[in-house]
Structure 1
Amino acid sequence: MGHKDHIDKSFDIVIVGAGSAGCVLANRLTADPNVRVLLLEAGEWDRDPMIGLPVGIVHMTANNLYRWSDVSEPDPGLGGRRNDIPHGRVIGGGSSINYMAHTRGHPATYDAWADEGAPGWCYKDVLPYFKQCEAWDGGENAWRGGAGELGALTPPIDDPIAPAWFDAIRSLGYPISQDHNGDQPEGFGVLQYTIKGGRRSSSAKAFLHPVLGRPNLTVLTGAMATKVLFEGRRAIGVEYVRSGAREQVYSRRTVLCLGAINTPHLLMLSGVGPADHLQSMGISPIIDLPVGKNLQDHLAFPMMWKRKQPSPFQKSLRFDKAAVNMLRAVLLRSGPSSRLPGVIIGFIKSQQNLSMPDLQLYLQMPPPYADTWFPGIKRRYQDCLVTRTQLVGQRSRGEILLKSADPADRPRVFYNSLSAPQDIQALREGFKQTWAIVNAPELDAFRGEPVMPVGALSTDSEIDAFIRANASQQFHPASTCPMGSDDDAVVDPDLNVRGLEGLSVVDASVMPTLVPANPNVPIMMMAAKAAAMWQGVETAAGLSAAAETIAEARVPA
């Protein structure tokens, strides 16, 4: 039913946004044949083979494909620079265009969610849903799932520098983790990817495509939602534009899965948000809620050193080898193009008294300008040792505001990067720790002269200036509609919008604090958990009776 052009006007559930959360919800909720679901997506189908091929991310990024290309307001903390904010506009959403990092975040994050107003979301409560969704190549254990839909691949690191990296890490006293998503969330180890069978394991490929034959599921692409429809304080459906025509569809429950930029945008356009701001835009408020506040993202900066000998990855990009590797990936689902290069990541603390890591270090990344080359035709690029130092315990908070009441106008995004003094302090310490690792004697045989920065920075003020000049947000916006139990929350712990009926949100916007890791997999977990909480809600018993059942069944953290 994914290609149906003439749809019914009434459904049990309308899911707005076919991204990381929306595809999982469509899968889980339509498992009940009596629940009729419409999935709306502003983008188109994920048919491009470059989406499925892991190395296709380079092509898609270079050509800005399948994404909303938002840009932040000038950021005073970053010298007035603007941040690009690409997020998915295609079936699969961000999971179709991201770099496929498979990370969950430290268990203490979820425990903090529960302690601070979201009972039912501590790590012991969410772990079953991580496992349920997952097909880890390491197999099922107490921490990991082996029979789920979503791939989790631990790639080989065939670069001869890898042992030297780990020797340097050990020499400085850092722990080594065999599995960051298992019982060793701290220390350095190999980054896992959402790849399965030589293909990107997006939420669309893993969860949506296998169930498109269900008669109770309808998918509509090219449909941009413009307003949530209300009768009083009950959401009754969605208005959307498709092929230039304005349409309306009605539902018993409307679920927004548009992400931390587009979900608050649609809510505010619909009269759900800060009353003063909505009135200033000429919108009559339905309810006054702090929608768009509390914006969080991960701020990071790169560092580079020339590499003395070319890496295997650079050699694999010689044009003739790259062409062969692409054919292997397409025809045999094997070879370097069927996966991404192995990357070492570390979750570490900027201060030892912290309860969990606030920094994520990426080591041994390809240079951002890596490209195919061929002798005598196109010179090969300067190979480098590349690191990225990322803040995952950010204290700074931004905000999303409407530009106007016109849905075609993109929202204004204010990051306020480094407005909390703890953030520059943590990144400064991250700079020092990264510098120490790369300059360890164990890497002498591989490390050439520094490129970025061009030499050692001797004072804190020099380091801070480097960070402010080179840091950027990492396309992980979150927490603009946080769940909780107080007036700062937009949704309750059951992910229903506070003070309204029939309206829920499931995406990164509901995270009380952004997970200290790449958020794609946690978003899918949240969707699987939401579907389980709501199971039976859309039956003839009605929404209110089912909400009472959920409240009784939930186990407090």
Structure 2
Amino acid sequence: MEPTQHGRGLARAPDVIVVGAGGSGAALAARLSEDPGRTVLVLEAGPVPRHPSAFAPGSLDARLVPGAQPGHPALRPYAVHLTPTRPYTVVRGHGLGGSTTVNGGYFVRARRDDFDRWAAVGGAAWSYERVLPFLRALETDLDHGADALHGDRGPVRVRRTELRHPAAVAFRAAARRLGFPEEPDKNAQDPPGFGPVPSNAVDGVRVNTGIGYLLGALDRPNLLVEGDSTVLRVVVERGRAVGVLVERDGRRAVVLGGEIVLCAGAFRSPHLLQLSGIGPRRELEALGIPVVRDAPAVGARFGDHPQVVLEWVPRRPLPEPSGSWLGGVLHLSSSDGGHPGDLEILQSLVPMAGLTSGRVSVPGAPLAPLAFLVSVQTPRLSGRMRMLSADPAMPPSLDYGYLSTARDRRAMREAVRVTAESVGTDDFGELSDGLTEPVAQVLNDDRLLDRWILGRLGTSHHTCGTAPMGPADDPRAVVDSYGRVHGVAGLRVADTSILPAPPLRGPAATAVLIGEVVADAMRRGLT
């Protein structure tokens, strides 16, 4: 029998235990603790620096992407299969700020079409009109200030990438020559086209949600943030969540709380549900886990965005980027016409060899190839998560099911070909000697191009949908509109797990939005 605690430094059990201090958890905990009458305990598995200078070296340099660096201390790796024949390693942030500490600083809002889809199952709370005040409240937009679409008082500072680097100038000219419209504000719901990337990196510094939301709130007497505290499962008694089992320094204890909110991310939150007996009955029973709630939708499906990297060779040495690794981004629509702007071509101003090694440039290689990250962002649920063991240390099996349909493969071919066409324009040709691959013979043959893509396939790390929201009588739903787990009182999920499908843009901004929306519902007692 594990000992029982209230959280170190708290005289009584906290009103809310937040599991995870990442994109959603940091926002939710900070907003809940604005109410001085509510005590909040945050349990984070990774380290919790108390000052920006205490983060791992290079973690906040916006010219680098820690998530691209194998073995970075702020990462937790997962072995997955992108296709049945394509094993891969994906990563998630580990520590204060979660994946907002290790991602690319891309902070683009979901599209109105996404909110329409989510509202169809999650209710009016997820309509664009209802979430817009939260989107404004969470940001300080340094380009637009306060207006009908943007905010100037929120914890997340947003600035769009400058398009002054020669490679960004060339990409913009190429997009214009190919007939794509300008989209100067990717957060304004304008028709998709070419534009700068809204980013939570300012003056070369990545400002993660731990810094933006929590560091300034740590002196609140009603807020306690504990690092190196791994939650192993939720403790449920008579249909109600009453606490969590936590491991610290090799010792385990039950920490009691009034309400439990899982903000551990789209892999860990559903895994914690399953470890707690909330999941598909047959799978839980096969592993000897007592069933608390038969919830067949936990981990049954998930969505993400397949990605390939296309590299091009500069004709002459180019300057290092000054503020961000990001250049411009082009959004265009695949030929099936179902989801406008579902293809993304994202420009890197740092060589891939530099991103993976934690360097802005590659020593001894002044003409190192630069890259485009090319992805299909159609909101599909092709993945499957399956538990392998009742041991909390054993990660689940994750099969992404990428490019399993002819439509998926066609969309990726289209994105690759537009990228090649952009690099082949006269505007870009003044700067580039062309793509390193694929060669023209491969580009012009569907079968050869499919083979080339499958051999180099990666992912955008945008996982969503492992514990989706929806009505209580829908077997495809796990939580309600505000993250409350159906059939288990006192337990919520508040991260990208709850999205019914991934958005048409990277979900970092949406993860923060989820924290804001759920915190507001809890503070106001919304049902």
Using structure 1 for the length normalisation, give the TM-score: 0.87
Name the residue aligned to 1:547. Answer: none
| 1:464 matched residue in structure 2 | 450
- Residues 293 and 410 (structure 1), Cα distance of their counterparts in 2 relative to 1, 3 Å cut: same
Q: CA deviation at 1:136?
A: 0.9
Q: For 1:301, give the aligned amino acid.
A: V
**CA distance 1:21–1:473, shift in 2 (3 Å):** same
Which letter does structure 1 place at the counterpart of 2:80?
A: S
Native 8 Å contact 2:123 2:481 kept in 1: yes
Distance 1:256 1:445, change over 3 A: same
The residue correspondences of 1:368-407 to structure 2 (distance < 5 A) are 368-370=352-354, 371=359, 379-407=364-392
Tell whether the 8 Å contact from 2:232 to 2:245 is kept in structure 1 after alignment. Answer: yes
Is the Cα–Cα contact under 8 Å of residues 63 and 360 in structure 2 kept in the other structure?
no
1:366 maps to a residue whose letter is V
> Cα distance 1:56–1:296, how it changes in 2: closer, same or farther (>3 A)?
same
Matched, 1:217 2:223: yes
Q: Deviations over 1:234-283 (max 9, x none)?
A: 11111111111111111221000000100111110000000000011111
Structure 1 partner of 2:3: none
Does residue 351 of structure 2 align to residue 348 of structure 1?
Answer: no
Moved more, 257-266 or 492-501: 492-501
* Secondary structure class of the residue paired with 2:59: helix
Distance in structure 2 (CA, Å) of the matches to 1:105 and 1:456? 37
Please give the secondary structure, in 2, of the residue aligned with 1:87.
strand
* Residue of structure 1 aligned with 2:83, choices 75, 79, 87: 75
Question: Given the alignment, which residue of 112, 122, 134 partners 2:139?
Answer: 134
Equivalent pair of 1:179/1:185 in contact (CA under 8 Å): no
The CA deviation at 1:55 is: 3.5
Would you say the 8 A contact 1:428–1:464 is kept in 2? Answer: yes
Distance 1:199 1:518 in 2: 20
The question of 1:430 aligning with 2:438 is answered: no
What CA distance in whole angstroms lies between the structure 2 residues aligned with 1:163 and 1:113? 36
For residues 236-251 of structure 1, what are the structure 2 equivalents within 5 Å?
236-251=242-257
Q: Retained in 2: the 8 A contact 1:9–1:248?
A: no
Q: Give the structure 2 partner of residue 481 of structure 1.
A: 467
Matched, 1:452 2:437: yes
Is it true that 1:53 corresponds to 2:61 in the alignment? yes
Q: Which residue of structure 2 aligns with residue 304 of structure 1?
A: 311
The match for 2:238 is 232
Deviations 1:268-305 (A, max 9, x none): 00000000000111111111111012211111111122
In 2, are the aligned partners of 1:395 and 1:423 still within 8 Å (CA)?
no
Q: CA deviation at 1:73?
A: 3.8
Q: Decide whether aligned partners of structure 1 residues 383 and 158 sit closer, same or farther in structure 2, where only a CA change above 3 A counts.
A: farther
**Residues 105 and 185, structure 1, Cα contact 8 Å, conserved in 2:** no
Aligned partners of 1:62 and 1:274: how far apart in 2? 34
Deviation at 1:352, TM superposition (A): 6.5
Partner residue in 2 for 1:419: 404
Partner Cα separation in structure 1 for residue 329 and residue 64 of structure 2: 22
Identity %: 29
1:516 aligns with 2:504: yes
Structure 2 distance, partners of 1:472, 1:373, is 22
Q: Displacement, 1:63? A: 3.8
Contact 1:106 1:516 in 2 (8 A): yes
Q: CA deviation at 1:32?
A: 0.8
Aligned equivalents of 1:466 and 1:129: distance in 2?
Answer: 42
| SS at 1:83 equivalent | strand
1:100 corresponds in structure 2 to 105
Task: Kindly state the Cα deviation for residue 363 of structure 1 after the two structures are TM-superposed.
Answer: 3.0
Cα distance in 1 for residues equivalent to 2:16 and 2:191:
37
Question: Structure 1 residues 193, 187: CA separation in 2 closer, same or farther (over 3 Å shift)?
Answer: same
3-state SS, counterpart of residue 216 of structure 2: helix
**CA RMSD between the two structures:** 2.0
The 3 A distance-change label for structure 1 pair 183 and 310 is same
Question: Residue 518 of structure 1: SS of its match in structure 2?
Answer: coil
* SS of residue matched to 1:343: strand
Cα separation, partners in 2 of 1:418 and 1:344, compared to 1, 3 Å: same
The residue that corresponds to 1:439 in the other structure is 424
Describe how 1:118-197 pairs up with structure 2 within 5 A: 118-138=123-143, 139-184=145-190, 186-196=192-202
Indicate the SS of the match to 1:82: strand
Please state whether the residue corresponding to 2:135 is helix, strand or coil: helix
**CA deviation profile, 1:142-164 (whole Å, cap 9, x unmatched):** 11112211011123233234333
Per the TM alignment, residue 56 of structure 1 is displaced from its structure 2 partner at its CA by 5.3
Alignment partner, residue 330 of structure 1: none
The amino acid that maps onto 2:409 is: I
**Are the aligned partners of 2:15 and 2:38 in contact in 1 as well (CA < 8 Å)?**
yes
Check whether the contact 2:309–2:373 (CA below 8 A) recurs between aligned residues: yes
**What is the aligned partner in structure 1 of residue 341 from structure 2?**
357
Partner of 1:37: 40
**Secondary structure of the structure 1 residue equivalent to 2:215:** helix
User: TM-score if structure 2 supplies the norm length?
Assistant: 0.92
- Aligned partner of 1:323 in structure 2 is none
Distance 2:245 2:487 in 1: 21
Q: Of the candidates 209, 217, 220, which is equivalent to residue 203 of structure 1?
A: 209
Shift in alpha-carbon separation, 1:536–1:387, aligned structure 2, 3 A: closer
Larger mean Cα displacement after TM superposition, 420-429 or 56-65: 56-65
Letter aligned with residue 450 of structure 2: D
State which of 497, 509, 514 in structure 1 corresponds to 2:485. 497
Q: What secondary structure does 1:230 align onto?
A: strand
- Name the SS for the 1:177 alignment partner: coil
For 1:544, the equivalent position in structure 2 comes to none
Q: CA deviation at 1:444?
A: 2.0
- Cα gap change, 1:136/1:451 in structure 2, threshold over 3 Å: closer, same or farther? same
Instruction: Quote the residue 2:300 is aligned against.
Output: 293
Whole-angstrom CA distance in 2 between matches of 1:493 and 1:526: 10
Structure 2 contact 32–38 (Cα < 8 Å) conserved:
yes
Q: Which amino acid aligns with 1:170?
A: R
C-alpha contact (below 8 Å) 2:304/2:380 kept by paired residues:
no
Kindly indicate whether the alpha-carbon contact (under 8 Å) linking 2:63 and 2:325 is maintained by their aligned counterparts in 1. Answer: no
Mapped partners of 1:144, 1:190: distance in 2 = 16
Q: Does 1:276 align with 2:255?
A: no
Give the SS at the match of 2:106: coil
The code of the aligned residue for 1:340 comes to: S
CA contact (8 A) 2:66 2:102 kept: no
8 Å CA contact 1:33, 1:216 repeated in 2: yes
Q: Of 513, 517, 526, which residue of structure 2 is paired with 1:525?
A: 513
CA distance in 1, matches of 2:415, 2:451: 14
CA contact 2:329–2:347 (8 Å) conserved in 1: yes
Query: Does 503-512 or 425-434 show the bigger shift?
Result: 425-434
- For residue 396 of structure 1, report the CA deviation from its aligned partner: 4.7
What is the aligned residue count? 507
- Alpha-carbon distance change, 497 to 185 in structure 1, aligned in 2, over 3 angstroms: farther
Aligned to 2:4: none
**Cα gap change, 1:355 to 1:536, in 2 (>3 Å):** closer
SS for the counterpart of 2:453 is: helix
